[in-house]
Amino acid sequence: MKNSRINKWILFAIVLGFMVCGILTALPARAEVPITDNTAEDVSSDMAVDAYGNIHLVYERGGTIYHINKSSDGWGTEETVISGSYPAIALDSNGVPHIVFLSNGVKYTNQIGGGWKDPAETIGGSTSVNFVDMDIDGNDKVHVVYCAHRTTIFPYTTLFLFPKRNLI
């Protein structure tokens, strides 16, 4: 009698296993989609999506920041933005990309007027800045936050928010 109960549980476990495997194999495959194809390493990526579902990506390769976007027509052409590292991107209400990044401090550029604003504007920080991020509010005001390491007797890290003026 005891062996019969054990056999039923084993059979139940086997059937359940096949059911779970059948469910898992029935799920749609989620394949990665390569966006860039080069021999160098793309790092420090960030992404923003506009109101129409168009994707904007920024990333760094070898000390240069690149931008690429995807619309309903597919992926566009990779474009060089500027020299720098650790980019972050946000889009204004018109879908125009704005980028902050590190390059001897915190720098800012945008694509208002079709081309990237160059030289980029230095908005704060120093060479001790570790991270930078941004967002744009409903009034198209750019907000930037960055993290800087202080080197004093008691080293610490401080966050700075940069909403001092409208960068647009």
Query: Which pLDDT belongs to residue 131?
Result: 81
Of 57 and 25, the one with more pLDDT: 57
14 to 3, 9, 21: CA distances (angstroms): 16, 9, 11
Minimum mean pLDDT among 22-26, 53-57, 123-127, 158-162: which range? 22-26
Query: Taking 50 as the threshold, does the pLDDT of residue 23 lie above it?
Result: no
For tokens 């694509």, what's the residue? 111
**Residue 91, pLDDT above cutoff 70:** yes
d(CA 88, CA 102): 10
Domain ranges of the chain: 43-162
**Weakest-pLDDT range from 64-78, 82-96, 122-136, 149-163:** 149-163
CATH architecture of 43-162: 6 Propeller (2.120)
Backbone phi and psi for residue 72, each to the nearest 5 degrees, phi listed first: -65, -20
- Mean pLDDT across 148-154: 61
Q: What pLDDT is recorded for position 24?
A: 46
pLDDT at 164: 47
pLDDT of 3: 57
Q: What is the pTM of this model?
A: 0.71
77 vs 31, higher pLDDT: 77
pLDDT band at 122 (very low <50, low <70, confident <90, very high): confident
Candidate from 6-15, 77-86, 106-115, 138-147 with smallest mean pLDDT: 6-15
Query: In whole angstroms, how far apart are CA 138 and each of 20, 114, 142?
Result: 46, 22, 10
* Three-class SS of the chain: CHHHHHHHHHHHHHHHHHHHHHHHHHCCCCCCCCCCCCCCCCEEEEEEECCCCCEEEEEEECCEEEEEEEECCEECCCEEEEECEEEEEEECCCCCEEEEEECCCEEEEECCCCCCCCCCEEEECCCCEEEEEEEECCCCCEEEEEEEEECCCCCEEEEEEECCCCCC
CA pair distance 19, 136, nearest whole angstrom: 48
